[in-house]
Structure 1
């Protein structure tokens, strides 16, 4: 525990140092007089239309402020480097847990190998009352497994003729099929752990899930996912995803630990749900709730007053293997969240922070234009605006550093390679900005009711 606290303290000092240096370097903190544009009259220099546009673009840059504040306090108020998870009760006393993996069935070998690994992880922790359910559009025939493993495995094939009442599609359709009478074998007091087909359990995450369901205070839970474990397929996308690791430990952890509500939504893997609450919320939310079914589900659960908590431990996933998949993934997320934000089924008061976060993403091409415009067309701004803009940039920049600190270990890589990963993560920031802008522009003009599935399987090289 002391070592954990020291790591957290050093991380907080580093975060504050980055913020202060960024504020001083960009003029957000004016300790030595006014800014360079203080004596400029933009109304005379640029004309009224251009000046109004410049100030509007500067205001657009403040849209990420709510989520940046949540990330800042989430990363500082809670220990960012906790020790391993300790069980708070016996696994024998835990309610039944169904680990549900949804797949289209395109990668049977991947699903089989991950199912075996997840079964072995559960056995090492001592989990007894559980099963792994693979929900697939295509028959996989994952057996034969060892008899103890085979009895814990259930394969559910979604019939091609199945149509939910609201017209839900894609993954939402498969998840809703599992809740239908005659298909669902779980009771309302059982629990479901939702995973993607490439998600791997760790012993810490299984202990965290057990603690969460034994505690029973909340209906839904979310945990941390990291992307740099074992073999790294694409270093560029993996380092870019270090931001998502920090987002889990910052914004998501604060909203669930302090408010117990999905103020900014959540993501669809490493989700823990109580069956009765999941059935009441439902995944049958029509086409608009099918592209980012996790986001739509969370907002509906928020509206219905269900409680959320943060689950200890972490799970492992892989970042997209190609730049094309990376862009397609971001585009689908943005389109799905936009559909949720614009849906009349979700009251405005429940999606306000999500909407602000989403539009900070949609307007990213406009906000990033300030980098060039600040040099080409400087304008005098109130000190508080300059301070907040620098604060947003500094925290977002540090999140890439934190993601590397959390995902990689100097003992595993060596100090030199570890430091190189930090530099590499910072070097991917321009790439990530470019990708996000590309995804936004493509997503705004493309079909919003498509579900692109990224490649998940590492294909072995062909030897001739």
Structure 2
């Protein structure tokens, strides 16, 4: 029997990640070298030629690989995000630059996942001693009295009135609840709002990261890393592996543009674990019918010139509980992003979701047809694409398990291997969800089940 490893605290994990540029580049190169040696000299199916013949096979592979690699923004963004200096303690070590009055922690719920909300709010008990914190639960349900009674007295509950009482120009669903909350709170530049989903679990480290960002930073919007180990961790291998791919994307698609350019790529922003200054909320508002209100908000905040920063702390959430919920969740996201009137947004979404599938074409062609000579340079390039993608997913899984209690060392390796193996199938299902939105967009705002 393998004993469980001691899990790391958030602070301990980031003490390791402070030296990410010493850890990940050499281990990535070593991983590539080992895979190269094994594939080049051990697999009979590969016929690697030193010649650079441009036959039809080479042309197809180059075309597909180029589409996959160079339509990403930037190419190999997950690898760059993992290997470039993260500087997780930059805000904590910076001088004071501004002050504030209060930080509001705001959780929005329909009230259907009753136990999930109660469990999340229970984590706030340990934070009550902070005088500058205000705790809010926004219930987007006219029948929320049962949930109101179950919440502790220090939580301010806001129930969103029906459409006949509170009318908006465009806002629907969660955006409507957020817009009502914004108007009711009379936010100012001295106010900050930490937006959370109903299953988001925060702790003292999360709050401290927010305070450092507010007091010692210059950006007006912050978002941070989400791990999906709050509940049902690896109870369903496919669904847990799917969320590991999102953690991997945090290094690149989400985090890298924020770290380098002080703005997200187009509008890629999490819907939870987002810290926003009150003046920014008032300027952008939540007046949108877009069902991906987080993307819409970030897209419009970028167009207004507001600066973004990264919160180097972890909020724990959970993966969907069923494949049906997973599919519905992705369809809602893709429908919302496609509604943004920008061709680059739509192309970015399609290449991000569908593009990596081209990595699968070369192995399938190689394994299921007569051998064709592959130029050595093309072999190296395609191997690099696959190894770099698999490496970032492997690392993302390990980092998540390091801060997860009761995960043994052997289970940690098994989870990482499963994540790499299941990654292509996750992308295939996400690609199908995206394609299905092209002829039949998702309707409404599906709230998936949480436990």
Native 8 Å contact 1:179 1:279 kept in 2: yes
Matched residues, number: 425
Structure-1 residue corresponding to 2:326: 326
1:97 aligns with 2:91: no
Q: 2: CA distance between counterparts of 1:327 and 1:151?
A: 37
Structure-1 residue corresponding to 2:9: none
1:122 aligns with 2:127: yes
Structure-1 residue corresponding to 2:262: 260
Residue deviations 1:60-114 (CA, integer Å, cap 9, x gap): 233454345322122112359x689969899xx7531111111122123321231
Structure-2 residue corresponding to 1:360: 352
- Give the Å deviation of 1:318: 0.4
Residue deviations 1:16-70 (CA, integer Å, cap 9, x gap): 323344566667xxxxxx9449576646xx9xxxx98776434323345434532
Native 8 Å contact 1:397 1:426 kept in 2: yes
In the superposition, relative to structure 1, how do residues 249 and 170 fare at CA in structure 2: closer, same or farther (>3 Å)? Answer: same
Structure-2 residue corresponding to 1:140: 144
Native 8 Å contact 2:79 2:392 kept in 1: no
Structure-2 residue corresponding to 1:171: 174
Q: 1: CA distance between counterparts of 2:52 and 2:77?
A: 35
In the superposition, relative to structure 1, how do residues 426 and 363 fare at CA in structure 2: closer, same or farther (>3 Å)? Answer: closer
* TM-score where L is the length of structure 2: 0.81
- Name whichever of 169-178 and 443-452 sits farther off: 443-452
* TM-score where L is the length of structure 1: 0.79
In the superposition, relative to structure 1, how do residues 205 and 424 fare at CA in structure 2: closer, same or farther (>3 Å)? Answer: same
1:78 aligns with 2:97: no
The DSSP-based 3-state class of the residue aligned with 2:385 is helix
- Give the Å deviation of 1:199: 0.6
- Give the Å deviation of 1:296: 1.5
The DSSP-based 3-state class of the residue aligned with 1:66 is coil
Residue number among 227, 240, 255 corresponding to 1:238 in the alignment = 240
- Give the Å deviation of 1:190: 0.3
Residue number among 62, 65, 70 corresponding to 2:69 in the alignment = 62
- Give the Å deviation of 1:276: 0.8
Structure-1 residue corresponding to 2:4: none
Structure-1 residue corresponding to 2:117: 111
Q: 2: CA distance between counterparts of 1:42 and 1:11?
A: 36
In the superposition, relative to structure 1, how do residues 37 and 85 fare at CA in structure 2: closer, same or farther (>3 Å)? Answer: same
- Give the Å deviation of 1:381: 8.3
- Give the Å deviation of 1:445: 2.6
- Give the Å deviation of 1:449: 4.3
- Name whichever of 395-404 and 193-202 sits farther off: 395-404
Q: 2: CA distance between counterparts of 1:64 and 1:387?
A: 20
Q: 1: CA distance between counterparts of 2:335 and 2:359?
A: 19
Residue deviations 1:199-240 (CA, integer Å, cap 9, x gap): 111221111011111124111000111012454243431133
Native 8 Å contact 1:99 1:192 kept in 2: yes
5+ residue gaps, structure 1: 28-33, 459-464
Q: 2: CA distance between counterparts of 1:6 and 1:179?
A: 36
Structure-1 residue corresponding to 2:30: 17
Structure-2 residue corresponding to 1:294: 294
- Give the Å deviation of 1:356: 3.1
Q: 1: CA distance between counterparts of 2:406 and 2:159?
A: 39
Residue number among 388, 400, 406 corresponding to 1:395 in the alignment = 388
Residue deviations 1:379-409 (CA, integer Å, cap 9, x gap): 8888776555433322221122112211113
Structure-2 residue corresponding to 1:210: 211
In the superposition, relative to structure 1, how do residues 310 and 41 fare at CA in structure 2: closer, same or farther (>3 Å)? Answer: closer
Native 8 Å contact 1:68 1:392 kept in 2: no
Q: 1: CA distance between counterparts of 2:214 and 2:239?
A: 34
- Give the Å deviation of 1:169: 2.0
What's the Cα RMSD here? 3.7
Native 8 Å contact 2:82 2:392 kept in 1: no
Native 8 Å contact 1:63 1:360 kept in 2: no
Native 8 Å contact 2:291 2:333 kept in 1: yes
1:419 aligns with 2:423: no
Residue deviations 1:338-390 (CA, integer Å, cap 9, x gap): 222xx05xxx7xx56x8435433245556644442455488888877655543
In the superposition, relative to structure 1, how do residues 251 and 366 fare at CA in structure 2: closer, same or farther (>3 Å)? Answer: closer
Native 8 Å contact 1:131 1:154 kept in 2: no
Residue number among 246, 249, 253 corresponding to 1:247 in the alignment = 249
